């Protein structure tokens, strides 16, 4: 094994990451900050953003979000919902082809009780999976090993998202 160092996940796995419901939305802040590389934003579309998850379950874990700060699908315009699904469709193909994913989980977590870490801003997960992507670390140490560097992954995926044509 080359490396088992994932410092960006420390606050997440240790439970020390505080969520203040009154603070500004982290996603909205990242969108307006316009530092796509810093926040691993792979592509901005008219209504939607696709980005790498900073607290991934697996390498290549993507988030597809509406640009609009909205917590529910029904609060989005039809155009935004349709665009999200188009982006998800293309994203699953990209992670399958480029990361050689053997399977993919796609889904939403609506509300904190359902597992949403940031329930105020709707986001869809695209999670690439491989045979054997779980191991003893989860059982013994309650820690998930992520074996892909986010910076290298961003550089690898970005060109494929940049050439996407969403209509």
What are 50-87's pLDDT values in tens digits? 999 988 888 899 999 999 999 999 999 999 999 999 99
Closest CA to 5 of 149, 166, 137: 149
Domains delineated in the chain: 7-15+22-162 (3.30.428.10)
Position 17 pLDDT exceeds 50: no
In angstroms, the CA 39 to CA 54 distance is: 8
User: Which residues are within 8 A (CB) of 44 and not within 5 positions of it... i.e. 6 or more apart?
Assistant: 31, 36, 67
pTM of the model as a whole: 0.79
Of the listed ranges 6-20, 96-110, 127-141, the least confidently predicted one is 6-20
Structure tokens at 156: 């690898």
- Sign of the dihedral through C-alpha 161, 3, 143, 14: negative
Helix axes of 78-99 and 150-162: crossing angle, nearest 10 degrees: 120
Q: Which strand ranges, in their side-by-side order, compose the sheet holding 48-52?
A: 41-44, 48-52, 62-66, 124-129, 103-108
- The string of pLDDT tens digits covering residues 83-112 is 999 999 999 999 999 999 999 999 998 888
Amino acid 134: pLDDT:
62
pLDDT of residue 49: 97
By percentage, how much of the chain surpasses pLDDT 70?
A: 76
């Amino acid at each position: 094994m080359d490396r088992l160092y994932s410092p960006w996940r420390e606050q997440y796995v240790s439970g020390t990451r505080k969520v203040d419901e009154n603070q500004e939305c982290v996603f909205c802040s990242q969108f307006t900050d316009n530092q796509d590389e810093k926040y691993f934003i792979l592509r901005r579309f008219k209504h939607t953003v696709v980005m790498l998850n900073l607290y991934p379950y697996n390498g290549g874990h993507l988030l597809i979000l509406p640009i609009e700060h909205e917590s529910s699908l029904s609060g989005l315009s039809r155009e935004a919902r349709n665009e999200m699904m188009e982006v998800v469709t293309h994203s699953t193909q990209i992670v399958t082809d480029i990361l050689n994913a053997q399977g993919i989980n796609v889904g939403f977590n609506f509300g904190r009780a359902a597992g949403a870490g940031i329930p105020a801003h709707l986001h869809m997960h695209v999670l690439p999976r491989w045979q054997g992507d779980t191991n003893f670390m989860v059982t013994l140490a309650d820690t998930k090993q992520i074996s892909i560097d986010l910076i290298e992954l961003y550089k690898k995926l970005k060109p494929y998202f940049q050439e996407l044509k969403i209509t």
